[in-house]
Amino acid sequence: MEKEVHEQYEYARRRLRQKKILYFHFVLFLLGSLFLFIANRFFGFGANTEQNWCVWGITIWFFIFILHFIKVYITDRFMNKKWEREQIDRLVGLQQKRISQLESRIIEDTENKI
């Protein structure tokens, strides 16, 4: 019982840390985007290029943020420790079934030879 409570606490702590890092990433994205925009528009960085480089930078960063969001709120939410345990139990069950089939086949073969 105590082990289960400890696992639940660790899972909650890990999820909280993931969300905290995601929120930090979002704030960093907003401030960084603002900085890129101001640097491009008012300080003339990249003025000699025809393309608006800050839009590309912000778009790529936004895509990375979306991937981070998907990892935290979709992937890790459904593929947690419980899901891992269920998959491991299922695979172990399949292996044990296969081993028992092979053992029974070996016993049948030895009985047929005798």
User: Domain boundaries in the chain?
Assistant: 1-112
Per-residue buried b or exposed e for 43-78, using 16+ beta carbons within 10 Å of the residue's own CB: eeeeeeeeeeebeebbeebeeebeebeeebeeeeee
What mean pLDDT is predicted for residues 70-98? 85
pLDDT of residue 47: 66
Tens digits of residue pLDDT in 28-70: 999 999 998 888 888 777 667 777 788 888 999 999 999 999 9
CB 27 within 8 A of CB 88: no
The pTM (predicted TM-score) of the whole model is 0.65
- Three-state SS for 114? coil
Tens digits of residue pLDDT in 5-25: 787 888 889 889 999 999 999
